[in-house]
Chain A
């Protein structure tokens, strides 16, 4: 057995199926990797005993008919896992053990996978660098001084460092796609409502969406198929027939129309991002796709709109963390109000507090119309821009991020420049559309860069197909030196 853990999920599944490797051996290999990678700080909790138990159970009675037969998976610590601590990267939940399993993780386990551990993330998924976690920042395996992106930074780091064969994250404004881009991996934010939000610690309900993070596009389609599906426990879940993304994956994209939005060429964007975009266009054109210039005129309002809508919802969603029923409670304070104040002051970190304050402010009487209501109107315009474009094109190609992975600490004191990192990803969340981030090249420092494919609502199959064709022809190879072990 040569190093199984640097293979793709689909290759691993093949090895399990053909009994080249047992589920137990596979699990042990990942445990060894994880134990050697503590420096990356990707895990908040490991569930090795449980994983080994499940692996043995699988080996005794293998069922290879499932999508994820016998595979251990680590997941972002925003998904509630039954009897396994779920922290959302926050002190306020650092002792919280749910009695229930999120729908998305349950779907994974029902497809034959089992839990390997819980991955670090920005506190309540608020951040773009995984530096806001109560459990410390995560390090990008690309370089020991680099952030892995955020908020699903533990996920991207663990995946790129071969600590899990695939993983899942959540994406509210880019939290899957940006870390995927920073680590040279594939990340998909599905259509809003495709994956159930039930059992996922909420950040901004109208934007949150769980999605897969994988090494290949094929892996991405397998994971999406396993995790998605209608859930009557989530009122915003879309009731539609389940799709078989992996079986339908095709690399023929001849004749497809790809939109190139002029508004995604922003000021001060590094030249190499532009060059990467050009390279992407050329690859798709060579594959027979037709490039069409389009305009998404309200793009420039997306970031401010997002930073009103998301904090507004967050300020309300996070009100339940009050120390009364579960989670952290401060022992200081002489009455209820003081208990609240101390619990929330001690329980939340700075970025979370900042967003609660912004959100509370924009919903306040006298400011509601000027901020929240206006933001909702702009949101409709942004959505309409996309709707209009999709009458002309099949998908839209943009860069995933305006830069490669930045240095740890580089933006921590400048929240606005941190927020600007989400400039290409947030419009998609505001419009509820699916978008795929693909590794597409390296910058001159050798750090990965990603391109983003945006699809129509529920058109995951099409962007996966384009991504699949692109991947085969891009020549990108993620070669990471394991400096940490």
Chain B
């Protein structure tokens, strides 16, 4: 694979700027109940149906940590090659808002559960390591609904108290493409681990995006702006594009950048100021006296480490070694755990390389077309493997295979059965083929003469005729060989 060069820069009149990006990703922990209460976390329930007395902050209610959420955070930390802190503390982040029942969010401030780690990105210009600053656990807030009534705001507390992991990157990202790769990689890792479903439509993954610019070669960072709560990769990329250019324009005009919190307006495709540094909240963090510090036994961490599934980076290496895939194929096939599982099942039963080609080609195109995932693919891995094997063995041609594939999608049937019942088996008997070809040549004497006179283009015409007569079942390779032989004679 040829390596391209990194080239995301903004050219101004006064120089060339690079964009520095850091992300605070909020990932919803996969767990049945909330971080400090027994309420369900299921998405899509009617408003305020999954709210306990704790989530709605009734007098005298107390939080009790959900151990599963702690384990999920540890697993995620391990998946990010990060340091797990045996001692961490829950703090209260105090502010008033109608969808924040306690008047504070329980979060982790000075002592997070997970420390520094790293994530590897595969970029066209090579692999790049992105540092993780920390991961901490915190509660989600509820949702304020402003457009249901002209004079009132409605509040839905179903989300209130759901566990989030805030994953803070170091300012190592340099382009919207890297942000795209980073978010996808994080999501892949968490989905492998089963710690976050990564569903951005349902709000399971959101990010605050910190953007600054500086002239290429500058050692110091520029003043950054934080774009709050962006909930799709596309919007993150658009917001960064807009924000970086806005900052460069300011600098080019000799103006200063104000450190501030901004919002991305998805309709106007622009960021606008939400609050300046001076107006920043004073959250008055202090350790939550209702909760004891979280002390993790090393054994628990070690046990969780042992029980981790194979992660995408390792799996990719293994696919290259074990299945002879190239890095690009391996990358695509490990991008989702379900895809890699499907591939491995197919590869066990058929040609490994051909399986990869057909999966990444026809299968993915079909799934994409139908808006399906690999896990609800109409073609089972076993059937798909049989199809690949039929191609490999020469039982059917690639062209026929596409037809069989279509029928498999519609019927879910086994390819052998389809080939049998429709008589789609490839004609590979040289005698039969010779008979057929002689018949065609005798019918087209004029063309044979022209061919012999040097019009070699007509070879394709004869192949076409064979295919037509055989209903597309003639073995193309044999057909070629026999045609050549007979045309010579």
- Spell out A's residues near B (CB within 8 Å): 80, 86, 88, 93, 96, 98-100, 102, 197-202, 204-206, 232-236, 312-313, 315-316, 318-320, 322, 324-326, 336, 340, 360, 363-365, 368, 372
Contacts and interface: CB of A to CB of B under 8 A. Distances in A.
B323 interface: no
A372 B284 CA distance: 10
A316 B94 contact: yes
A233 B64 contact: yes
Interface of B: 53, 56-65, 92, 94, 96, 98, 101-104, 153, 155, 282, 284-286, 289-292
Given A235-B65, A364-B282, A100 B53 contact: yes
A364 B290 contact: no
7 contacts: A198-B60, A201-B60, A202-B59, A202-B290, A235-B291, A325-B58, A364-B284
B286 A325 contact: no
Nearest to B286: A363
Given A319-B103, A363-B286, A236 B292 contact: yes
Given A320-B102, A364-B284, A325 B56 contact: yes
Contact of B98 (A324, A326, A365): A324
Given A98-B59, A320-B103, A324-B155, 20 more contacts: A80-B60, A199-B61, A202-B60, A202-B290, A205-B290, A312-B286, A315-B94, A316-B284, A316-B286, A319-B96, A319-B103, A320-B57, A320-B59, A320-B101, A322-B96, A322-B103, A363-B94, A364-B284, A368-B284, A368-B286
A368 B104 CA distance: 17
Contacts of B286: 312, 316, 363, 368, 372
A233 B61 CA distance: 9
Contacts of B155: 324
Contacts of A102: 60
A195 B390 CA distance: 73
A336 B101 CA distance: 14
Contacts of B284: 315-316, 360, 363-365, 368
Contacts of B101: 320, 324-325
Q: Which of A102, A202, A204, A312 has the most CB of B within 10 A?
A: A202
A96 B58 CA distance: 10
A312 B102 CA distance: 15
A316 B58 CA distance: 14
A352 B94 CA distance: 18
A422 to B, nearest CB: 19
A122 to B, nearest CB: 16
Contacts of B60: 80, 98, 102, 197-202
A368 B286 CA distance: 9
Q: Which of A86, A318, A319 has the most CB of B within 10 A?
A: A319
Contact of A340 (B64, B96, B285): B96
Contacts of A372: 286
A93 B58 CA distance: 11
A401 B92 CA distance: 34
Q: Which of A234, A316, A326, A364 has the most CB of B within 10 A?
A: A316
A201 B62 contact: no
Contacts of A80: 59-60
A200 B98 CA distance: 23
A236 B290 contact: yes
Given A235-B65, A313-B289, A365 B282 contact: yes
Given A316-B92, A316-B103, A363-B284, A235 B292 contact: yes
Nearest to A206: B289
A146 B101 CA distance: 40
A368 B153 CA distance: 34
A336 B92 CA distance: 22
A62 to B, nearest CB: 32
B94 to A, nearest CB: 6
A387 to B, nearest CB: 19
A312 B92 CA distance: 11
Contacts of B64: 232-235
Nearest to B56: A325
Contacts of A313: 289
A205 B155 CA distance: 28
Contacts of B292: 235-236
Q: Which of B63, B64, B155 has the most CB of A within 10 A?
A: B64
Given A235-B63, A312-B286, A316-B104, A325 B96 contact: no
B104 A233 contact: no
A86 B282 CA distance: 32
A312 B104 CA distance: 13
Given A312-B286, A336-B98, A336-B153, A93 B103 contact: no
A96 B59 contact: yes
B289 A88 contact: no
Contact of B62 (A233, A315, A326, A340): A233
A327 to B, nearest CB: 8
The 5 closest A-B pairs by CB, nearest first: A319-B103, A205-B289, A206-B289, A363-B284, A320-B57
Q: Which of B53, B56, B57, B155 has the most CB of A within 10 A?
A: B57
Nearest to A193: B292
Contacts of B96: 319, 322, 340
B289 A86 contact: no
Contacts of A199: 60-61
B98 A201 contact: no
A151 B53 CA distance: 26
Q: Which of B60, B94, B101 has the most CB of A within 10 A?
A: B60
A320 B105 CA distance: 11
A235 B58 contact: no
Contacts of A360: 284
A336 to B, nearest CB: 6
Contacts of A340: 96
Contacts of B53: 99-100
Contacts of B58: 98, 100, 325-326
Nearest to A340: B96
Contacts of B289: 204-206, 236, 313
Contacts of B92: 316
Given A235-B64, A319-B94, A364-B282, A88 B103 contact: no
Nearest to A339: B98
Nearest to B284: A363
A316 B104 CA distance: 7
A313 B284 CA distance: 11
Contacts of B104: 316, 319
A310 to B, nearest CB: 10
Nearest to A78: B60
Q: Which of B56, B59, B61, B101 has the most CB of A within 10 A?
A: B59
B31 to A, nearest CB: 18
A452 B394 CA distance: 96
B109 to A, nearest CB: 11
A449 B150 CA distance: 62
Contacts of B103: 316, 318-320, 322
B59 A201 contact: yes
A360 B104 CA distance: 13
Nearest to A336: B98
B290 A319 contact: no
A133 to B, nearest CB: 16
Contacts of A200: 60
A304 to B, nearest CB: 18
A273 to B, nearest CB: 33
